[in-house]
Amino acid sequence: MNDSMRESLSYFGLFRRMFAVKKTVKAEKVSFGEHKDQYFLYFEPKEITSEKIIVWVHGGGWNSGTPAVFDFVGQAMCSYGYRFISIGYRLSPKNKFPVQIEDVCTGYNAAIKFLKEKNIDTSKIIISGPSAGAHLTSLLVYDRQIQNRMNVDLSGVIGFIGVGGPYSFFTKTGVFVKMLLNQLFKKDFDRTQGEPCSRIAKSSIPMLLIQSEHDGLIDYSCAELFYKRAVELGIPSELYSVEDKKNTHSWYTAGMFLEKREENKTLDKFLSWIEK
């Protein structure tokens, strides 16, 4: 069975487990715009064991998903003692790029302001996202022009983790991903303006890229190219290949948060990298 078919067949089991997760922490919802998707959720664990804060942007092909749908990720991170912020954004195809990255930047600024108003230290931020969220967060962290235009201050960011991200639009791209990109961008838009491999600039913020060779949606070469560009720019970088048997796109980008680190090597890598 090929990886694309394995990916398609994985959804039922994944969704069943997603919606069965118990909410032990009640998230605080904060709007940063008038649209229903312009909000973030703040999760504070009952027992805080780390000063590091994870700021996360959900995936979903740019056309689906909300922070509420991915509540289980916040629940998982709280179980390990991390404060966690999940940022939403307006979705395609109704809303075309760069609306999504503008919302992520605005949401990030609002989240930092929110934390400071709570007298929470914002000097140890980890920014992360899976799939479409990895695309958007990589632009947030490494696209100097969008940072300047949106007045984003990343001085408190100490790391970036991208999981299964489409960092290049010109490597091997399957039919489904091409369809999603056609929904995201206007017909005549210069896609290099939204492509992380084209937008990445020199930075001191280290990155971890997590990618599976059996993804089923995003070709492994996509992460390889982004990693190579980062190394060329002197960015401290690591490319981690998924070792778990559940290695199709949705299972390692989202499903890892449904398991414990003792049973999921990818989640253990995610947490170990943050801890170090």
Do 139 and 101 form a contact (C-beta atoms < 8 A)?
Answer: yes
Q: Which residue has the tokens 């912020």?
A: 85
State pLDDT tens for residues 6-58.
877 776 677 788 778 889 999 999 999 999 999 999 999 999 999 999 999 99
Do 222 and 167 form a contact (C-beta atoms < 8 A)?
Answer: yes
Q: For domain 3-203+222-275, which architecture applies?
A: 3-Layer(aba) Sandwich (3.40)
Instruction: Please state whether the predicted TM-score (pTM) of the whole model is above 0.85.
Output: yes
CA distance 136 to 17: 26
What pLDDT is attached to residue 11?
67
Do 130 and 138 form a contact (C-beta atoms < 8 A)?
Answer: no
- Give whole-number Cα distances, 202 to 95, 144, 195, 199, 236, in Å: 30, 9, 16, 10, 10
Do 57 and 87 form a contact (C-beta atoms < 8 A)?
Answer: yes
Do 227 and 196 form a contact (C-beta atoms < 8 A)?
Answer: no
Do 200 and 233 form a contact (C-beta atoms < 8 A)?
Answer: yes
Question: Taking 70 as the threshold, does the pLDDT of residue 96 lie above it?
Answer: yes
Question: Taking 70 as the threshold, does the pLDDT of residue 267 lie above it?
Answer: yes
State pLDDT tens for residues 224-257.
999 999 999 999 999 999 999 999 999 999 999 9
% of the chain with per-residue pLDDT over 70: 99
Question: Taking 90 as the threshold, does the pLDDT of residue 113 lie above it?
Answer: yes
Q: Which residue has the tokens 């170090």?
A: 276
